[in-house]
Amino acid sequence: MTTTLEQRTAAFKKLDEVKLTFARRDWFPGTSGNLSIKISDVPLQFAVTASGKDKTKLSPEDYLIVDGNCNSVEPTNLKPSAETLVHAVVYQSIPDAGACFHVHTIANNVISEVYAQKQSFTIHGQELIKGLGIWEENALLTVPIVENYADIPTLAAAIKEAIKPDVPGVLIRNHGIYAWGRNDFEAKRHIEAFEFLFEYQLRLLQVGNLSAKASGIAI
């Protein structure tokens, strides 16, 4: 299957918009992070960020189209992001996922380290949980945390095993979060909701420590 010009143009435009939005928030330190948007289910094909690009800028060579084996579907000198296999695993595991985004932030890295031993981060009763499509009263959210394996197939396998159908994201210890949604709008909303919740929890822990110190309690 060959992607059409219209499909390429639409996917790349959406990736441009998301990339610049996240870049303005400093969510791509260095050349970290990667983004993808699915173009077709059968065969699986998706647009993904090229490796080693400065994500604060736009260029004609920021993305390429790959298949389910992470191979480019057309001639190119570009290399897909080193973690493209993770995107493929997400699309193969979550059939209705249409976009998958990965960012590195101070908040998500610290949360993943603080709660690494529990292998998950849990929060409940926070309004922004609704941003993840969970609308129950006093809802409980548990985000899986996997180890940061240097071997990408091992990392992808760990993420595949950790994926929960009702939680659109997985944290990697000291390596950011992968979040997905049915389309780019939903995946962006999920990333934003996760980041708010992580920052909220860190502020809450900080306030607790400060209160404990002010009360003369050993911490």
Predicted pLDDT at 4: 87
Cβ 190 vs Cβ 171: under 8 Å: no
Predicted pLDDT at 159: 98
The first and second tokens of residue 139, run together, are: 């809802």
Give the Cβ contact number of residue 176 at 10 Å.
23
Q: Is 104 annotated as a binding residue?
A: yes
Q: Domains of the chain, with CATH numbers?
A: 5-213 (3.40.225.10)
Please, which pLDDT band fits residue 60 given cuts at 50, 70 and 90? confident
- Over residues 178-188, mean pLDDT: 98
Q: Is 124 annotated as a binding residue?
A: no
Cβ 66 vs Cβ 49: under 8 Å: no
Backbone dihedral angles phi then psi of residue 103, each to the nearest 5 degrees: -130, 155
The helix/strand/coil state of 208 is helix
Location of structure tokens 């973690």: 83
pLDDT > 70 fraction of the chain, expressed in percent and rounded = 95
Average pLDDT along the chain: 93
Is residue 217 scored above 70 in pLDDT?
no
Is residue 103 scored above 90 in pLDDT?
yes
- Over residues 192-204, mean pLDDT: 96
pLDDT tens across 8-40, in order? 899 999 999 999 999 999 999 998 999 999 999
DSSP states along 103-162: E--HHHHHHHHHTGGGTEEEEES-GGGGGGT--STT-EEEEEEE---SSHHHHHHHHHHH
Is residue 209 scored above 90 in pLDDT?
no
pLDDT tens across 129-175, in order? 999 999 988 899 999 999 999 999 999 999 999 999 999 999 999 99
In this prediction the pTM is 0.92
Q: Is 113 left (phi over 0), alpha (psi -120 to 50) or beta?
A: alpha
